[in-house]
Structure formats: structure tokens, C-alpha cells
């Protein structure tokens, strides 16, 4: 192989235009725009917009279900008027309410969202999320002010 071809192949490999076939030492152009592969996060792919809110989430478990599944979920805990809620726990794809309660009570099977925080979760098209369970740190009778747990998601198209 001439030097010029080796240089061209090296530049192509470094720029991401081709991948190397180690068996033959040759290169093959990847499909996409101008030889580049399109890689998009789930939030930027086609889908159905889903939005929901839970006003003053408490220690009583709440559940949201999505028949088509979700690829991307943004969850925020907002303080609208002097709420004493400090955080919320979230878990994904519990089998039922009992499983959801167990997951929400166990470290390692739940996600923590603090007041004022916005978290985004991405899921693959092969394993979308069909269920979200949540609780907060304050019992319903002890909540002051107004807090909102907001869910904005992209469902499977």
C-alpha cells in the first residue's frame, strides 16, 4: 500500500469517517451523512410528548403508567410557595404497587431528586419505561406550601 493511501486511511480513521477491518487492513465507509454515523440520544429521536404533575407529593406512593413506554424522562421537584418538601424518591418499572414500595424504600433501587433539581433519564428503545413510582419525605398532613413533582417525557413513537 502506497504511503499516500496509508495517510488517507489514517486521517479517515481519526476523523471517524471509516472503521478499520482488522482482517484485511482495509477501510469501509460508515453509513450516515458524509460517511459519518448518526448517534442521537433518546431525547432527540422521534416520539410522543408526555407531561404530568403531582402536586404536593407525600409519603403516600404515587404511580404513573405509560402504555407505549418512555424513552426519555425529565423529572423536576419545584417549590411553588414555601413548600417544606425536601426531596422525592423515584423508581422505574416496578412490577406492581408492592414492588414499587419495596424499591422506593431500598437504597440502590431508587433515584433521589432534591427540591429545585431537574434530572433527566434516558432509556433504550429496546427497554422503554412503562411505570414510574414516587414518594416524598413529608407526610400528606404535614406538608406546608406547594411543591410540584413534574414529569416531562418522550414516549415511543
* Structure confidence by residue, pLDDT tens digits, 62-79: 999 998 899 999 999 999
Q: Is 80 exposed, middle or buried (0-12, 13-18, 19+ CB in 10 A)?
A: exposed
Question: What is the 8-class DSSP label of residue 21?
Answer: -
Q: pTM score, two decimals?
A: 0.71
Residue 62's pLDDT is what?
A: 96
User: How many residues can be counted in the chain?
Assistant: 157
Residue 30's pLDDT is what?
A: 46
pLDDT > 90: what percent of the chain?
A: 61
User: Domains in the chain, please, with CATH?
Assistant: 1-39 (no CATH), 42-156 (2.60.120.770)
Residue 149's pLDDT is what?
A: 95
The mean predicted confidence, pLDDT, of the chain is: 82
Confidence grade of residue 46 (pLDDT, cut at 50, 70, 90): confident
Residue 152's pLDDT is what?
A: 93
Q: Which helix (H) or strand (E) holds 122?
A: strand 118-122
Three cell numbers, residue 154: 418522550
Residue 29's pLDDT is what?
A: 46
Q: How far apart are CA 77 and CA 27, in angstroms?
A: 49
- Name the 3-class secondary structure at 130: strand
- Choose among 102, 98, 87, 92: nearest CA to 136: 87
Amino acid at each position: 500500500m502506497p504511503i499516500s493511501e496509508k495517510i488517507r486511511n489514517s486521517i479517515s480513521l481519526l476523523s471517524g469517517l471509516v472503521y478499520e477491518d482488522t482482517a484485511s487492513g482495509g477501510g469501509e465507509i460508515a453509513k450516515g451523512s458524509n460517511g459519518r454515523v448518526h448517534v442521537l440520544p433518546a431525547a432527540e429521536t422521534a416520539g410522543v410528548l408526555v407531561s404530568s404533575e403531582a402536586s404536593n407529593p407525600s409519603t403516600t406512593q404515587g404511580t404513573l403508567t405509560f402504555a407505549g413506554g418512555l424513552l426519555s424522562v425529565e423529572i423536576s421537584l419545584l417549590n411553588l410557595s414555601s413548600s417544606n418538601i425536601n426531596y422525592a424518591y423515584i423508581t422505574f418499572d416496578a412490577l406492581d404497587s408492592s414492588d414499587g414500595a419495596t424499591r422506593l424504600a431500598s437504597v440502590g433501587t431508587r433515584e433521589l431528586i432534591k427540591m429545585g433539581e431537574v434530572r433527566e433519564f434516558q432509556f433504550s428503545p429496546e427497554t422503554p419505561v412503562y411505570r414510574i413510582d414516587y414518594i416524598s419525605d413529608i407526610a400528606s398532613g404535614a406538608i406546608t406550601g406547594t411543591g410540584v413533582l413534574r414529569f416531562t417525557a418522550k414516549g415511543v413513537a
